[in-house]
Amino acid sequence: MSDQPKTVTAAVIIIGDEILSGRTKDQNLSFLAENLNEVGVQLHECRVVADVKAEIVAAVNDLRARFDYVFTTGGIGPTHDDITADSIGAAFGLPVDHNPEAVAILKAHYAHTGAELNQARMRMARTPAGASLIENPVSKAPGFRVENVYVMAGIPAVCQAMFHSLKHELAGGDPVHSISIAVHLAEGTLANGLSALQDKYPDVSMGSYPFYRDGRFGASIVARSQKPDRLTAAAEDIRRLMRDLDGEPIEADA
């Protein structure tokens, strides 16, 4: 039996002109990265795409072919610029129409709230043919899934609720563990030794992140691996390297 860890990968597509303009600050990417890793899915790529159908279609078709899962956020609301459902339909070559299950959910919700279920709000019940729904316990308008593409809202609270509704469906691999060690040494001082350690531990990724605090330069070394024993050994060698260079390792939460 192979002791190689199982790797399951994902990509995220953040959809919306408001993100690219800087008027809205994305809060979904870090949430998804952290929570995907908890279920054994590694986030390998993220794209931010404008509200342009051809660009959304191109991104979806590229990423769904290369990764096990694709998650999109944004563009499934009631307004004219919410074009994600139509774009996903186009990517899969599927017609888009009102999903009977989604219509029933919206009818029940708006009957309960007393608000009008108008034509604009009915747009939120449109999905590609054959899509399965993602529950939205916050505002009820569901997301949906087509094959390995999960389509979620952009509002952070709704996106997070939708993810928690669907995460039981995800078949993950081995999670990635990480250790962060800081030191008051410049990156250039660490570079050669760190490069040698990366060669020694090809199954542990090592990243160097410089900082400047209290008038002193330093670097945080973050080591990540699916193999806890190899990560522990690499971390000890990183600490030894720092001490050999007259630096004192500072442990930090990864």
The reported pLDDT for the residue numbered 254 is: 41
Q: Do 154 and 184 share a domain, yes or no?
A: no
Do both 134 and 209 map to the same domain?
no
Tell me the residue range of the domain where 205 lies.
177-252
Q: Do 155 and 189 belong to one domain?
A: no
Domain boundary among 107, 136, 169: 169
Q: Are residues 215 and 245 in the same domain?
A: yes
Please give the Cα distance from 125 to 141 (Å, whole number).
Answer: 7
In a domain, 1, yes or no: no
- What does the pLDDT read at residue 119? 87
Question: How many structural domains is the chain composed of?
Answer: 2
Last residue of a domain, one of 169, 196, 227: 169
pLDDT in tens, 180-236: 999 999 999 999 999 999 999 999 999 999 999 888 999 999 999 999 999 999 999
DSSP 100-151: HHHHHHHHHHHHHH-----HHHHGGGEEETTPEEE--TTT---EEEETTEEE
Same domain, 183 and 246: yes
Per-residue pLDDT, 1? 43
Burial of 201 (0-12, 13-18, 19+ CB in 10 A): buried
50/88 same-domain check: yes
Write down the mean pLDDT value for the chain.
94
Please tell me whether residues 75 and 122 are part of one structural domain. yes
- Return all residues near 48 (Cβ < 8 A) that are at least 6 apart: 13, 14, 15, 16, 19, 20, 26
Q: How far apart are the first and last CA of the chain?
A: 31
Same domain, 132 and 182: no
Residues 31 and 133 in one domain: yes
Can you give the CATH number for the domain in which 128 is found?
3.40.980.10
Show the low-confidence residues of the chain (pLDDT under 70): 1-3, 253-254
Strands 126-128 and 69-73, sheet pairing: unpaired
